[in-house]
Amino acid sequence: MSYLDTLLEGVEVEWKSLGEVTKVLRGRRLTRDMLTPEEKYPVFHGGLEPLGFYSISNRPANTVMIINVGASAGTVGFSDVEFWSSDGCFCLEHSEAINNKFLYYFLIGEQIFFKSRVRVAGIPTLDNFVVEKLKIPIPPLEVQKEIVRILDAFTELTAELTAELTARKKQYNYYRDELLSFEEGEAEWKTLGEVGEFIRGRRFVKTDILSEGVPCIHYGEMYTHYNIWADKSKSFISAELASKLRAAKKGDVVFVAAGETIEDIGKSTAWLGDEDVVIHDACFFYKSSLNPKYVAYYSRTNFFHDQIKKSISSGKISAINAKGFEKVIIPIPPIEEQERIVSILDKFDILTISISEGLPKEIELRKKQYEYYRNKLLSFPK
């Protein structure tokens, strides 16, 4: 028998409506001119990010909150500090019958229910009677505390890993920019247009994409799927359609050239696959004698983005043309130095960005483990 089974064995659990156990408190609205970053207490209204800060609080620390208006209506939160609750944020009054953190963990699993009961006419609104009528389990307080201890351990570990990942990303960005900065005489400085050629892809649409066929890259995938390099594509198109389009070859660098914001523009991926890959017309592929991963890493630097911003046209969709990319200045050290820089940055990349290795994978596993134990620990017979 596992520890969890032992913990819950023979435990009698009473189910009551939330309104029987505690009061659902509505907050009081403050105007924005009453808020200032210099004050002590965060103010919550229609989301879990503070609207600002106020000089006094109306809710104690360790309080469960449920957002009741706006796009986040139905979202459950917890504050371990005193705060001000506005009228867009229900709070649950402290009760001797239930541990607040236990209640929070249970209600996290009820967010889908809360969101399904939000009235969407006009401003999305969650009514207090929906919260009050929700049935909650009430095991003995010592069991509640032990469940909280276990789940807190998972959330603290995830928070520590996330903080470490953030620190590693900052470290990575710092070293990347340092490695790609050169003193006078250490590298040639030329424009991308002087040392290579940008070729625009040709249009195909999402309905052309297949599960197998000729490899292709749709521009939307550049934001979500592709990182510094790739040797396999996520998508494919038919050989017949591919014969009418343009394809990048091994060693070319694919640049995305359109997006909803300026920050979307310019992300690139070195194509290292043995097969040619068809490129969407919102992308360019770049041919040069430079190390392709060196170019892709350089496209992540602030210096690169500061340059292309001058050439991006803004509108409903932001975009850049080949001439905008061609004007970008790039430092060109000897090929051996390009390879050394790439080797160093690859190690950081695996640790900080890869979806299959390093800390991101560890964080994802811990989140799944937390969700598994939360569901198991909070599944009581009715």
| pLDDT at 331 > cutoff 60 | yes
Q: Which of 63-72, 305-314, 361-370 has the lowest mean pLDDT?
A: 361-370
Q: Are the C-beta atoms of residues 60 and 136 closer than 8 Å to each other?
A: no
| pLDDT at 5 > cutoff 70 | no
**What is the structure's pLDDT at 122?**
83
3-state secondary structure string across 260-312: CCHHHCCCEEEECCCCCEEECCCEEEEEECCCHHHHHHHCCCHHHHHHHHHHC
The CATH number of domain 3-139 is 3.40.50.2300: no
CA–CA separation, 157 vs 165, rounded Å?
12
Question: Which residue type, as a one-letter code, is found at position 243?
Answer: S
Q: Are the C-beta atoms of residues 79 and 104 closer than 8 Å to each other?
A: no
| pLDDT at 186 > cutoff 90 | no
- Common-topology check for domains 140-184+334-382 and 188-332: no
**What is the structure's pLDDT at 242?**
96
**What is the structure's pLDDT at 189?**
93
| pLDDT at 184 > cutoff 80 | no
3-state DSSP call for residue 107? helix
The CATH number of domain 140-184+334-382 is 1.10.287: yes
pLDDT band at 145 (very low <50, low <70, confident <90, very high): very high
pLDDT band at 170 (very low <50, low <70, confident <90, very high): confident
Architecture category of domain 188-332 in CATH: Alpha-Beta Complex (3.90)
**What is the structure's pLDDT at 32?**
86
| pLDDT at 3 > cutoff 70 | no
| Model confidence pLDDT, tens digit, residues 80-97 | 999 999 999 999 999 999
pLDDT (mean) for 122-145: 93
Return the number of other C-beta atoms located less than 10 Å from residue 49's C-beta: 10
Query: For the chain, which residues make up each domain, given as ranges?
Result: 3-139, 140-184+334-382, 188-332
| Model confidence pLDDT, tens digit, residues 254-288 | 999 998 778 779 999 999 999 999 999 999 999 99
Q: Which of 103-112, 229-238, 269-278, 313-322 has the lowest mean pLDDT?
A: 313-322
